[in-house]
Amino acid sequence: MEEMGKSDAAKREEEILEFWEGNKIFEKSLKKSAPKGEFAFYDGPPFATGLPHYGHIVASVIKDAIPRYKTMRGYHVPRVWGWDCHGLPIENIVEKELGFKHKKDIKEYGVAKFNERCREQVLTYVNEWEKIIPRIGRWADMKNAYRTMDKSFMESVWWVFKQIYDKGLVYEDYRSMHICTRCETTLSQTEVSEGYKDVKDIAVTVKFKAKSTAALSELGIGQDVHLLAWTTTPWTLPGNVALAVGPDITYRAVQYENGKYYVVAKERMAALGLSDANSGLEFSGRQLVGLEYEPLFDYYASDANLKNRENGWKVYAADFITADTGTGIAHEAPAFGADDWELLKREHLPFVQHVNEDGTMKPEVLAFAGMEVKPKSDDDRVRLATDIAVLKHLQDNDNFFSKENIAHAYPHCWRCDTPLLNYATSSWFIAIEKIKDILLATAKDVAWSPAHIKEGRFGKWLEGARDWSISRQRFWASVIPMWTCEECKARKVFGSVAELEEASGERIDDLHKHVLDEIVVPCSCGGVMRRIPDVLDTWFDSGSMPYASRHYPFEDKQEFDSAFPAQFIGEGQDQTRAWFYYLHVLAGALFNKHAFENVIVNGIVLAEDGKKMSKRLKNYPDPMEVVEKYGADAMRFYLLSSSVVVAEDLAFSEKGVDEIAKKNIGRLRNVLSFYTLHDTGITANRMSTHVLDRWIVARLDKTIKEVTEGYEHYALDSATRPLSAFIDDLSAWYVRRSRDRFKEDGPDADAARATLRFVLKHTALLVAPVMPFVSDEIYRSVREEGEPESVHLAEWPDRHEANTELIEAMADVRTLASEALMLRQKAGIVVRQPLPSFSIPRTIPEELATVLADEVNVKNVIMHADSLSLDTRLTQELIAEGDERAFARAVAEARKNEGFSTKDSVRVEHSDDGKHNVELSTGPVRFNLRIN
């Protein structure tokens, strides 16, 4: 926003920023005494390829509030910033800038040039981040930020990989996995889970003609038989090599013409429109095993050199087949499905992969050569073009039975939105399932906020975790530090730069692919070792962050070991299956430990209408415009006291920020202004005996307890919400009811000033983690000689046992006052008009009755009670003797026990019903009761 549109709140905050920077307050907070030692927390590094959005801001203020609190509690809390530099996000940006559509474009351009372009572009918005993050009040050392592309970081990643490799947890395998055809790389289980979208596809039921064999004759249904199989991926049909049936499923032969039959699961007949009247023999799935059928396409079936060709195009039993959908018979293309791949390995099926890694049909698939099987397009005609072409081929060759349109969730690339393919390829894996028991055991030691995520989203993901595919066929990333011999196939993994330099005789200053692919290592067999071409999944970088950010174990080993695992980590809910998971995995693999002890999981910030925030739709206010309008403190408090800090989504409301600015920050500043107006320099203390002073100190004690417990349990909503109620009590009750006391001179005025100074100072301490700007403004206005120059260098307030009886009694008084004021309003009597009395149905202490009388502007508060703590016999004797004065003294003595003075005027009336009305009066208070 322009300067002229900047609010006074924003200008004040910027002045405080200047104070912090000019006096190096952040740096001093890192150097201050830390009797409780080191408090380690992990800060997930963002990409600097765009500006911070609300998701970044929520996480940032969470990761600022906890370290501020812990610093005030006596810990040393390092806060080094980091930049995520590697992976598909930056590669995709550079590809778009260069106009590249395919992976081959990068190779033609040159990997070295491409990587250097990535290096140049990855920190595009660093300057903007370095302005925005401090402006929202977050303290972090951004000048010494670690970068995942730096040599020191990448070397530690090598060390992590080698440690895990040496433990036998890294292996290579060929299996069916999800790939992105545009990026031409495999994706991990986590990456796949993040990209599901609902799409419409074509499902087709295909006729596979059984061959006339002895196995078919044994079934006794003639020789003209078609097996009906169902698939939602027609493009995989040229790769079909088998059909699978459920061994225990019942199948029927359904006659559709004289002597011609379809074979289908009995349960699916009605869904397929097949009549029971035409059904014949029944078979179990086991009886169908061994049937042979005619291939739909002869592109591969006619290849005499195809390995295991003799096992292809037959029926096999498989436990994963059900009769819930389709026909109860599945077409098997092992190159494109995990279950299909397992069947291939078990039955030694021929391997047919008719699609290239870029998603196009191979040249030998003549009818469809070059066609993209799953193109990225919003036009269904384009997206489904290959499926439709396959359907037409089936129809032309009498292999088509029926089709249907289906809607289902389909995985897409999390970066470029291209539909993924399940594709058999080679990859390197970490054997997660070998260490799953360790991971599950160590996860029990982690505390989550909110707690349900521990056994829920995170726990269930961990239970279902599979081996992690860590290799990627990309360019700008940490490499797999493995060299293999071209001759003897020996492998060598390097865990440090020094090891590689010694083995290769080369000096190495850059650890990226385009450099290391040129480094060769002599093999003991006399051959040459070259690095395997794959790079590491960038989540391996992220999971290595605790070690790599400190160049462990090459530097700071002792310091790191003493502070591991981290006490705190915080990020969005999506990271339960991503960063949190990979941190946990690598810590378990390396040390048999958990990586962190406490987690705060935040939800997603949505637009006010509950929809996803969209730059195109402009359905949300720019976060920095909100800061300029209301101040960062208001936005911070709004976010930290909302449901977003307990992993729930928040529909962002600018009105909510405005309300915080007015009701919390505005009121606090008004109280500060009132104090400043009446300040005489008196020392702060909590020793006043005045009931209002004692009450506000009790409320402060209670709030300190609540806020402290919230922070200690990493429950930020519990740590922030009590502040609003306290600020309301301070402003709307304490200051308003004490206002006249400050205008006078004397001991009572001094007590009020000392109390308010004490309360303001401690309030500043309490709100410092969540509202760092206004807290320092208040603190610096009330601090005394010898105290720290900033609230952020001060200690957290001590806890005292709150006077809960007084708090409850004052709450009762405020309720009575509200009722009285409501009665005035109904009667049309303004508050400024004094009334003689106000009757209440119970007794309250005299000092509170005085407060109540002042609030509702009455001369007397008349209290009614049904009993009094007098000795019944004595009372009867006094009344019998008619000694009203003695009775009055007894009444006064009893009232003294209940908080009233004995200097009371008493009037006793004897009633005809044998009861006695006693009226006791003291100042503005009148007490009525009836005694037998």
Asked about 45 being catalytic, the answer comes back as yes
* Both structure tokens of 150: 């730096």
Of 612, 618, 743, 915, the active-site residue reads 612
Which of 575, 629, 761, 797 does the annotation list as catalytic? 575
Which is catalytic among the residues 143, 615, 655, 903?
615
Which residues pair with residue 207 across a beta bridge?
228
∠725-731-733 over CA atoms, to 5°?
85
Q: Does residue 468 have an active-site annotation? A: no
| Strand pairing category for 482-485 and 447-449 | unpaired
Q: Is the dihedral of CA 306, 309, 313, 315 positive or negative?
A: negative
Helix (H, G, I), strand (E, B) or coil at 744: coil
How many residues can be counted in the chain? 932
The owner of tokens 């390197």 is: 428
SS3 421: strand
CA–CA dist 125, 128 (Å, integer): 5
Of these residues, 84, 541, 693, 904, which one is catalytic?
A: 84
Let me know if 579 is a catalytic residue: yes
Whether residue 573 lies in the annotated active site: no
Q: What is the 3-state secondary structure (H, E, C) of 466-527?
A: CCEECEECCCCCCECCEEEECCCCCEEECCCHHHHHHHHCCCCCCCCHHHHCCCCEECCCCC
Catalytic hit among 414, 448, 483, 539: 539
Burial of 301 from C-beta contacts in 10 A (0-12 / 13-18 / 19+): middle
539 tagged catalytic: yes
Instruction: Verify whether residue 84 is a known catalytic residue.
Output: yes
The Cα 72–Cα 707 span in angstroms is: 13
- Per the CB < 8 A criterion, the answer to whether 51 and 554 are in contact is no
158 is catalytic: no
Spatial contact of 692 and 740, defined as CB atoms under 8 Å apart: no
- The residue from 45, 46, 234, 238 that is catalytic is 45
- Partners of 372 in beta bridges: 360
Task: Dihedral sign for Cα 655, 660, 663, 667, please.
Answer: negative
Candidates 490, 522, 485; CA nearest to 503 is 522
Alpha helix (H) residue ranges in 631-683: 632-640, 654-660, 667-678
Tokens encoding 440: 């599950």
CA atoms of 486 and 500, how far apart (whole Å)? 18
Indicate if the alpha-carbon torsion angle 221, 226, 229, 230 is positive or negative.
negative
Q: Strand ranges (DSSP E) for 36-136?
A: 41-42, 80-83
**328 Rama sector, left if φ>0, alpha if ψ -120 to 50, beta otherwise:** left
CA distance 862 to 726: 30
State the distance between the two ends of the chain, measured CA to CA, in whole angstroms: 76
What is the C-alpha to C-alpha distance for residues 815 and 832, in angstroms, rounded to an integer?
A: 19
Catalytic pick among 230, 579, 733, 796? 579
Instruction: Using alpha carbons, select from 162, 154, 138, 14 the residue that is nearest to residue 86.
Output: 154
Distance CA 145, CA 142 (A): 5
Taking residue 518's Cβ as centre, other Cβ atoms within 10 Å add up to 11
DSSP lists the bridge partners of residue 406 as 201
Give 672's Cβ-side CA count (13 Å radius): 21
Q: Which residues are catalytic?
A: 45, 84, 539, 575, 579, 612, 615
